[in-house]
A and B are shown apart, each in its own frame.
Chain A
Amino acid sequence: MATEHAVESVVVHHEPQSFWRRYIFSMDHKVIAIQYMITAGLMGLIGLVMSWLMRIPLAWPGESVPIVAKIFPGLFEGGVLRPDAYLAMMTMHGTLMVFFFLTAILLGGFGNLLIPLQCGARDMAFPFVNMLSYWVFLLSCLIMLASLFVTGGAAAAGWTAYPPLSALEKAVPGSGLGQTLWLVAMAVFIASSVMGGLNYITTVLNLRTQGMSMMRLPLTVWALFVAAILGLLAFPALFAGAVLLLLDRHLGTSFYLSHVVVGGEHIVREGGNPLLWQHLFWFLGHPEVYILILPAMGIASEIISNNARKPIFGYRVMVYSIIAIGFLSFIVWGHHMFVSGMNIWLSAAFTLTTLIIAVPSAVKTFNWLGTLWRGKLRFTTAMLFAIGFVSTFVTGGLTGIFLGNPTIDIQLHDTYFVVAHFHIVMATSSVFGIFAGVYHWFPKLFGRMMDERLGKLHFWLTFLGMYAIFFPMHYLGFMGVPRRYYGFGLLQYLAPNTQDIQLFISVAAFITGAAQFLFLVNLIRSIWWGRRAEANPWQGNTLEWQAPSPPPHGNWGEKLPVVYRWAYDYSVAGASQDFIPQTVPIEQEPTGEPGRHVPLPTVAATLSGDGNGKPLQNGG
């Protein structure tokens, strides 16, 4: 055993010294996390600007905006955004936001930051592959951005890239080099996320510190773990699909194409099946959206428990729900294809699985409420975003129930109702998870605190703003406004006041988007001039708070921490404080860990207010 300790110290003091090895080509998971976050954040900002561009013609159809046109001369004609530029912006907005912003920041950013810290590991299992994963991700970002500047413009077939539109050069501007680069960038992105995923999964499984059993992992780690598994098993389908599509585009195969006439020209292909792409895409696409929500759920759970000063309600059930949601998310993909011409029996099967997924979601929702109940709620900015997450997840999840029903989906498919649904769960809930996480773990990232007052202002503008943008989109959906439309002038069934709603949405979008610059200012200011953070500013239990802020290379100094209890010993009766870090031995403080304390409170006891279990004397 003596040798082991010697090795430990060798590792610990082996911090790279040069600037390049330390901050650029670093293999330290925390540095990689920051790199991911900054890159992904930039991609998010680009996506945000694109959504602004899209909102202009939607609110003011045909009106000229010379000032904006000057900034983006390539996209405007006569001061008006061109229809093909609209589609390109829409496609890139969706792609950047889903993959390059959310996936990257949640798995690459928070995964890298939290998994080793909360498992009590010194780093990822294979730091070199971890570093490679980031650089490959950056490469994919560059390829995707490059596609904006090629002749013909960026890909314009939607983020779903349905062929034949995406397979034929003539079908739509941007389906030349732009679409090819889109596919290549996605393939590279997938390679990067596989490299990341391998590390996250192995690290969670094998690199937990002593005492950190799976059922003691914080929910953040559970959620990231399951999300990583989803990525690893789902992305291959898109990879295969993208390879086939590239071959269709450049080798003249006909996986997805059959004989078509585009622009008067006959394109002779035989026997392809466009639905095949849709299946492959959504076999990824649906798990993908859960890759985006699960980590946000984990972050919200952690932050809610911490700021309610209460254990998370029903920890085990929360874990099982995460697993259940993860599994179910693989077998619901067909709900995006109810009216695509898919076999109607399949639709029925997918209805079943789709609606069942609401059950574990319900459990999670009520467990969050249960955690708030009789807590001592402290409203940090992170907490506000976390409860904002609960609100928006429920609102957005419930609209999924309409869509999951194929009969109703006949009417609602590809209308703004869908746009409303996914922006509320994804653009709002998941983004709230990210904001909550950044405010909460900022001390671990940079060793300083973010400004709470600015943060709260940011929260309020964003919370109200997001609802203002996306709630009215449901109304558009009711009225049957189709999505991916550049303008609605021809549609006579729309009441004239739909245009008022569009205007309202756009104004809200500009204000909300602008509010994000508060966040940016706060971020930059705090990185350099924020108040110095102590190790455990939020009185948290999980391991990362036992390390200094920011944790040094190797995280834990000489010795790995040892874990004696679960992560949610908040307000345990008889304890000296209202939190007990996981590293505190049972002999020193009691525990409330499930299974270790007796007995479970009954309903009657709960109502009479005496549900508090007595901790076992010696849990060992």
Chain B
Amino acid sequence: MERSGIHGILFALAVVVLVLVGVITIGDRWWWLPPLASVHGGQIDNLFTITLAITGSVFVLVHLLLAYFVWRYRERSAEQRAYFYLENRPLEVTYTLIPALVLTGLITAGTRAWFEIQGPPPQNALPIRVIGEQFAWRFQYPGADGQLGRFHPRFVSESNPFGIDPDDPAGRDDIVATELHVPLNRPVVAYIDSKDVLHSFFVPALRVKQDAVPGMTTRFWFVASQVGMYDIPCAELCGQGHYIMRGQMVVESDAAFESWLAQQPTIATMLGLSQ
């Protein structure tokens, strides 16, 4: 135990290196969020950055203090005596109140953004149904009537893999696809369903994530702001093929979207029904 002071110095060093590595790699964005491609994602990224700044400062501060104390007050001689010190109310109150204040700010900002993102979609939003199954995504678009036909797992069969109610008139003209296309800069509201187990509709570039829950319909609305192809990985463990459950999302201009949509089959053709 005599020479234990060296470990204090080492510990201080290690912690400083840790802080440096953290600050450089994160501050310099060596690895970062996927490039943003949606409107509401801006809010998420902002909050992320703010939180990073706050927690980053705390991280640096606490670690530097830790390093300093460990280095400075390591045992050096037998005569050295620790400073008997019980508590310091003003100091303790300070470091209770400051985090409390900071957190109040984060809570306010966070919940406000949350309600905006999760709030009701705009009237003109394009409804799309997203159906999760082991291990693929399927998509249903409304036809001319602008309404999605009913979905229920009990309608699922070889010929009706989408599980759309064949008797629902609103569904006849609906269009089905296995790739998700959405128009640029137009609000889209995804109604998310599942045929079997939990899945999660995750579009990293669009900052979209919402679980698909069997037995209920969940919802997420967004406005895509960048043309491009994006992955839709599944983000909720759903079985052996969870890691290969990946969909494709294409964000394109209105015109390209409409012409793509026109080429997709409708429920009626798929089920061999009349329009």
Q: Interface residues, chain A, CB within 8 Å of chain B?
A: 83-84, 87, 156-158, 162, 164-165, 168, 171-173, 257-264, 266, 268, 271-275, 308-311, 313-317, 339-341, 344, 347-348, 351-352, 355-356, 358-359, 362-363, 365-367, 369-370, 372-380, 384, 387-388, 390-391, 394-395, 398-399, 401-402, 405-408, 410-411, 413-415, 452, 456, 460, 463-464, 467, 471, 474-476, 478-480, 482, 484-488, 490-493, 495, 498, 501, 570-573, 578, 592, 594, 597, 600-601, 603, 606, 609, 611-613
Q: Which residue from B7, B86, B90, B233 sits with its C-beta under 8 Å from A592?
A: B86
Q: Which residue from B11, B83, B92, B163 sits with its C-beta under 8 Å from A375?
A: B83
Query: By the criterion CB–CB under 8 Å, are A372 and B11 in contact?
Result: no
Query: By the criterion CB–CB under 8 Å, are B210 and A414 in contact?
Result: no
Query: By the criterion CB–CB under 8 Å, are B117 and A407 in contact?
Result: yes
Tell me if B224 is interfacial: C-beta within 8 Å of chain A.
Answer: no
A275 nearest in chain B by CB position? B213
Query: By the criterion CB–CB under 8 Å, are B81 and A341 in contact?
Result: no
Query: By the criterion CB–CB under 8 Å, are A274 and B85 in contact?
Result: no
Query: By the criterion CB–CB under 8 Å, are B73 and A359 in contact?
Result: no
**Across the interface, which residues of A come within 8 angstroms of B24, CB to CB?**
none
Tell me if B150 is interfacial: C-beta within 8 Å of chain A.
Answer: no
Known: A365-B62, A485-B242, A603-B90. 4 other contacts (CB 8 A): A372-B69, A374-B83, A376-B73, A377-B74
Query: By the criterion CB–CB under 8 Å, are B14 and A463 in contact?
Result: yes
**Across the interface, which residues of B come within 8 angstroms of A413, CB to CB?**
200, 209, 235
For the complex, give the distance between the alpha carbons of A374 and B41 in Å.
47
Q: CB within 8 Å of A: which of B25-68?
A: 25-26, 30-34, 41, 43-44, 47-48, 51-52, 54-55, 58-59, 62-63, 65-66
Give 12 CB contacts A-B under 8 Å: A83-B243, A259-B152, A264-B158, A268-B154, A355-B106, A375-B69, A377-B75, A388-B11, A405-B106, A467-B18, A571-B81, A611-B85
Tell me if B207 is interfacial: C-beta within 8 Å of chain A.
Answer: yes
Distance in Å from the Cβ of B219 to the closest Cβ of chain A?
Answer: 9
Q: Which residue from A316, A411, A603 sits with its C-beta under 8 Å from B209?
A: A411
B76 nearest in chain A by CB position? A376
Distance in Å from the Cβ of B260 to the closest Cβ of chain A?
Answer: 20
B25 nearest in chain A by CB position? A475
Given the known A-B contacts A379-B4, A379-B5, are A373 and B73 also in contact in the complex, defined by CB atoms under 8 Å? yes
Interface string of B95-118 (1 = CB under 8 A from A): 110011001001100110111011
Distance in Å from the Cβ of B26 to the closest Cβ of chain A?
Answer: 8
Interface centre among A376, A491, A606 (most CB of B within 10 A): A376
Q: Which residue from B8, B66, B113, B195 sits with its C-beta under 8 Å from A261?
A: B195
Query: By the criterion CB–CB under 8 Å, are A171 and B88 in contact?
Result: no
Chain B interface extent, by class: 35 or more
Query: By the criterion CB–CB under 8 Å, are B237 and A162 in contact?
Result: yes
For the complex, give the distance between the alpha carbons of A501 and B195 in Å.
35
Query: By the criterion CB–CB under 8 Å, are B196 and A601 in contact?
Result: no
**Across the interface, which residues of B come within 8 angstroms of A165, CB to CB?**
197-198, 237-239
Query: By the criterion CB–CB under 8 Å, are A87 and B237 in contact?
Result: yes
Q: Which residue from B52, B163, B205 sits with its C-beta under 8 Å from A493?
A: B205
Q: Which residue from B5, B115, B237 sits with its C-beta under 8 Å from A158?
A: B237
Q: Which residue from B33, B86, B153, B209 sits with its C-beta under 8 Å from A260?
A: B153
Distance in Å from the Cβ of A434 to the closest Cβ of chain B?
Answer: 19
For the complex, give the distance between the alpha carbons of A390 and B82 in Å.
20
For the complex, give the distance between the alpha carbons of A83 and B134 in Å.
15
B103 nearest in chain A by CB position? A355
Q: CB within 8 Å of A: which of B122-164?
A: 133-134, 152-154, 156, 158, 163
Distance in Å from the Cβ of A538 to the closest Cβ of chain B?
Answer: 9
B218 nearest in chain A by CB position? A341
Interface string of B196-238 (1 = CB under 8 A from A): 1110101011011111011110100000000001110111111
Distance in Å from the Cβ of A361 to the closest Cβ of chain B?
Answer: 9
Tell me if B20 is interfacial: C-beta within 8 Å of chain A.
Answer: no
